[in-house]
Amino acid sequence: MKAKNFVNCFILGFFLLTFGAGCAGTHHKESTGEFVDDSVITTKVKAQIFDDPMLKVLQITVETFKGKVQLSGFVNSVAASARAVEVARSVKGVQSVKNSLIVKN
């Protein structure tokens, strides 16, 4: 009976450890919590960009990975590009912003 309890505890511990490791993030993969946090950051940045009169009609894509935001797409001017970066940096939780925006001619 004692051996059976030990085996059951071992199996339960093994599955809990495996499950916990499956939710952990790596350098190239987000954990579940990081994914949720990044989704919130992305949504907030998109909302701020949409609310800004200078950026509202422009085609800007926002992607976030581990708090690092990447802006891509097209803007009408260098000033609009700089404004998009400024808006993204103002959002709580943003660690850095990579500007991949292209200025249309």
State the chain's mean pLDDT as an integer. 81
User: Judging by DSSP bridges, how do beta strands 96-103 and 68-75 pair with one another?
Assistant: parallel
Containing H/E element for 4?
helix 2-23
Q: Is the dihedral of CA 62, 65, 68, 70 positive or negative?
A: negative
What average pLDDT does range 49-55 have in this prediction? 90
pTM: 0.68
pLDDT on residue 90 = 95
Domains of the chain, CATH where assigned: 30-103 (3.30.1340)
Q: How far apart are CA 20 and CA 38, in angstroms?
A: 20
